Amino acid sequence: MTWLLLLSACGISSVPKEESPGTGIGGEELWSCDSTGTHAPRQLRLLNRREYQSTVRDLFGLGTGASCSSDTDCNLETESCTAGRCSADPCGTGTFVLPDAGYGSVHVAGAFNGWPGTVAAGGWAMAYDATGDRWWLKAELGEGSWQYKYVLDESTWIADPTNPNQADDGYGGYNSLLTLSCSGGGLDDIAGLDLTAAFPVESRPQHFAFDNNAAAGLVSATLAEAQLDAAEEVAGLAVLELERLTGCNPSDDSCAEAFIRDFGGRAWRRPLTESQVQRLLDLLLGESDRTEGFSLVIQAVLSSPYFVYRSELGVARGDGSYALDAWEQAAAMSYFYWGTMPDAELFSAAAAGDLADSAGIRSEAERLLADPRARGTLATFAQQWLGVEAVLTTQKSEDFPDEVRKAMLAEVGDFYTHVVLDSSGRLPELYTADYTLANPTLAAWYGLETPGSDGVISNGDRAGILGMGAVAATYAHSDQTAPIRRGLFVREALLCQSLGTPPANAASVPTVDPSATTRERFSQHSSDPFCASCHQYIDEVGFGMERLDTVGQWREEENSFPVDASGNINDIEKLGNRMDHPYQSLPELGELLSASERVNACFSVQVMRYALGWDPEEDPLCAFDPQRQVLLENDLDMRQLLLSVPSSNAFRIRE
């Protein structure tokens, strides 16, 4: 009974049952479910900041809209690749392009970054584009005039040969001069607006990693005012180019009505009723100034609940449940795969009734996932699932450059997207891969070889996501590693195991002792039975990441002692099983996770949490077990899981 009492103190209620529902690693008993499958409630889902910004951009069709996977796929001088589409550069974006002439490296030095002679000193490294045989960089500079030069191979300084605007550098030569102005006005300037700067940050309930929780998305007075201000700012720019906006003669009443039907229908993600069209038309025609009339309509449309909320109310099925209608299904799919509004093809599929059955839904799902826009959403999912967005701001006692932090965050998204779309697609690869994707700055930080043009490099013993710098740095203290944080990360994010709230008298982090290793300092957690009740599940998992320091760099020694990265991920399938799974290295820990049924189930849970913006009150592993079954039936192929989500009952049906 002693171990049961200790589990209870740790907030763990899961204990072995007489009848096992199956076995996992080494014959370990799996969790059991009384029932599987569940439905989210009927709900209105508030657009979060990310979705709001993307929806406005796509609503106004900013940029060429061509598909892309990199900025170099677009008109590099004026566009960037945003969520898989070429979009107009935000106002204040500086673009630097230099034709190659056999350089080993190029970086930008100027008034904006203190004229550094090396990348390590703060120079902005330019990327090489093999297709265009050029070096390039985009940076947010803001309005103003900026002097700069290119530094070749960190030794030779030259002015930009493609920029005729120059200024005396004071040393007998010239600096290049870049002037950025945001005073032009018009539709393209909308792309440069940070429309959500005044929006409150989304709250994330405990154990819900994503920024789209429906229950937490409520319109406060602060948010309502910010939404009104954003709508007014957008409308003010849009009406400066009325003919381009409407595609017809805005002085004609028929043009005004056509604009309302088209713009309003796309913004509200369903056809407007005749009553709604008439009310908006009356608003527009009621103004003596036609420009002001269009401005008021745009503001009204963007301030409406039909725009700021996504409807998931559904149509009654006669059994107490509700099925999403075609327009709700289309919107739910586009925000799941793309993080933005449906495109013309998805709207057409909804109008034609093609989303009424699983075959039609599957066809559109395949198109949406294959579109480059899905890559940005997949990257966002991975970064939020693993909780590593904080790497950009976490405090460290040693040097941790911003460009390294950004590269680490990008590595997580790029690696996950690569595995899903470009590699095997299989879930185990996330934990066992002997490679990663990194830019030259991050590769140098890791001490790895310079990556090729595709960014793929061998990562030594880093074992996929477990060894990524963003994970190591996020789950560490400012001045020391954190086996507790790292162990909890594995238990909660990868295994969906909750250890409850630590008791008030839980021990604090042991004081740094220069004569001891981290493992030695945490020995109290295993020697004290009260501590061990929880920490038996935490520390031994966190020790597997001890070769990664507080800023994600590999280490062989700590305080002159060899690092011991062995551990035990006990009770991997269900807490309370009392089964050991020892390992000797990070790759071995990755292998254990890759073979776990619980890992498969937890990944399915995380995907469904993101898709629905909702977490069931009952055990989510049981609630979303049908999705785990899809993984199992398809050899753990994540693509097949992602493609199956929109046609699942969990996605389509509400209660």
Over residues 521-573, the pLDDT tens digits come to 776 656 666 676 678 889 999 999 999 999 999 999 988 889 999 999 999 99
CA–CA separation, 588 and 432 (whole Å) = 9
CA–CA separation, 37 and 619 (whole Å) = 11
Rg over CA atoms, the chain? 27
What's the confidence (pLDDT) of residue 36? 73
Q: Confidence class of residue 16 from pLDDT cuts 50, 70 and 90? A: very low
Cβ count within 10 A of residue 609: 23
Q: Confidence class of residue 37 from pLDDT cuts 50, 70 and 90? A: confident
pTM of the model: 0.86
Q: Confidence class of residue 506 from pLDDT cuts 50, 70 and 90? A: low
Q: Confidence class of residue 11 from pLDDT cuts 50, 70 and 90? A: low
**pLDDT tens digit sequence for 413-432:** 999 999 999 999 999 999 99
**pLDDT tens digit sequence for 110-134:** 999 999 999 888 999 998 988 889 9
Superfamily grouping for domain 67-187:
Immunoglobulins (2.60.40.10)
What's the confidence (pLDDT) of residue 2? 45
600 to 380, 402, 575: CA distances (angstroms): 20, 34, 16
Q: Say if residue 101's pLDDT is above 80.
A: yes
Collect all residues with Cβ–Cβ distance below 8 Å to 251 and sequence separation of at least 6: 290
Mean of the per-residue pLDDT values of the chain: 91
What's the confidence (pLDDT) of residue 20? 44
| Mean pLDDT in residue range 13-28 | 62
What's the confidence (pLDDT) of residue 4? 44
Lowest average pLDDT, out of 52-66, 398-412, 428-442, goes to 52-66
Q: Say if residue 65's pLDDT is above 90.
A: no
| Mean pLDDT in residue range 499-504 | 70
Return the residue matching tokens 């990199």: 70
Q: What is the SS3 string spanning 266-314?
A: HHHCCCCCHHHHHHHHHHHHCCCCHHHHHHHHHHHHHHCHHHHEEEECC
567 contacts 543 by C-beta, under 8 angstroms: yes
What's the confidence (pLDDT) of residue 18? 36
Parallel/antiparallel/unpaired status of strands 43-46 and 309-312: antiparallel
Let me know if 170 is exposed, middle or buried by CB neighbors in 10 A (0-12, 13-18, 19+).
exposed
Percent of the chain with pLDDT over 90: 75
Percent of the chain with pLDDT over 70: 91
Q: Say if residue 352's pLDDT is above 50.
A: yes
Range list for CATH 2.60.40.10 in the chain: 67-187
Report DSSP state, residue 125: E
What's the confidence (pLDDT) of residue 632? 96
602 to 209, 322, 594, 597, 625: CA distances (angstroms): 13, 27, 12, 9, 10
Collect all residues with Cβ–Cβ distance below 8 Å to 598 and sequence separation of at least 6: 24, 30, 31, 495, 496, 497, 572, 573, 574, 621
Q: Confidence class of residue 460 from pLDDT cuts 50, 70 and 90? A: confident
